Homo-oligomer: A and B are copies of this chain.
């Protein structure tokens, strides 16, 4: 057993647990959190919602602040919250310890450029290594949905769109929708992926969505008073691409809401019910 349990808390009749484990993909020790709803047991494995957090976050922010476990317990969905980058003293960080590059800012890509490529392989960790670990060690089935916030919303959209057979539905709060055209994305992608802008497109949800004839159901919530809306997030670039598509795509602009977890907590219920519906846990 390579998982080490480091905390356990009962909530809503289920269990929140944190684990550490050696990651061969990221070449370091990682921590994640899982919420197992009361329905989950070996005779009744449950689907998993992977939650990808934003810049500076760890596995803890969503679990402590979003209030999602109440719904997960009602609906019978496990939640897995990974960290947002590789971790450890040996892992490269930005020279100036900027919040938007390096530790806490993995951007869910596989880095190709030194020094980042030694550890920053977050795409493969989220899509392959972590789910394999979860599915081998917990009472969950292979049904996955994915959601996230800001940088993690970008991660949820790009990972979901690139792997339609793995993720039933996709949702996001305040996602970075077009990273190749915003300062956060350009800075991170230049560092992690280099100057070849063609290589960036595999991690841009607008570039990924544009050529698709169909896609999974997508739900996005965005606060109108989010200070990053115009410069970094650009949801209109994504929604402009779906005007001629028939699959479910809903972008809710929420008047007066900002970029914080207070915003997420206000609308997490609708995201959990959206995923439950697409997982067949609720009747349409």
Known A64-B65, A67-B70, A70-B67; contact A10-B258, beta-carbon cutoff 8 A = yes
**Cβ-closest chain B residue relative to A65:** B64
Q: Are B67 and A256 in contact (CB under 8 A)?
A: no
Q: Are A265 and B16 in contact (CB under 8 A)?
A: no
A11 and B9 CA atoms in complex are apart in Å by: 26
**Cβ-closest chain B residue relative to A14:** B266
Q: A262 an interface residue at 8 Å Cβ cutoff? A: yes
Q: Are B262 and A10 in contact (CB under 8 A)?
A: yes
Residues in B with CB closer than 8 Å to A69 are 262, 265
A255 to chain B, nearest CB (A): 8
A62 to chain B, nearest CB (A): 12
Instruction: Give chain A interface residues in 1-32, CB to chain B under 8 Å.
Output: 9-13, 16
Instruction: Give chain A interface residues in 56-73, CB to chain B under 8 Å.
Output: 64-65, 67, 69-70
Residues in B with CB closer than 8 Å to A223 are 10
Q: Are B225 and A260 in contact (CB under 8 A)?
A: no
Q: Are A67 and B10 in contact (CB under 8 A)?
A: no
Q: A249 an interface residue at 8 Å Cβ cutoff? A: no
How many chain copies?
A: 2
Q: A138 an interface residue at 8 Å Cβ cutoff? A: no
A256 and B12 CA atoms in complex are apart in Å by: 11
A69 and B266 CA atoms in complex are apart in Å by: 9
**Cβ-closest chain B residue relative to A70:** B67
Instruction: Give chain A interface residues in 249-264, CB to chain B under 8 Å.
Output: 256-258, 260-263
A10 to chain B, nearest CB (A): 5
Known A64-B64, A64-B65, A65-B64; contact A70-B9, beta-carbon cutoff 8 A = no
Question: What are 10 of the A-B contact pairs (CB < 8 Å)?
Answer: A9-B260, A9-B263, A10-B225, A10-B256, A10-B258, A11-B262, A64-B65, A67-B70, A67-B265, A69-B262
Beyond A13-B266, A65-B65, A69-B262, 6 additional contacts (C-beta under 8 Å) are: A9-B262, A9-B263, A10-B223, A10-B263, A16-B262, A69-B265
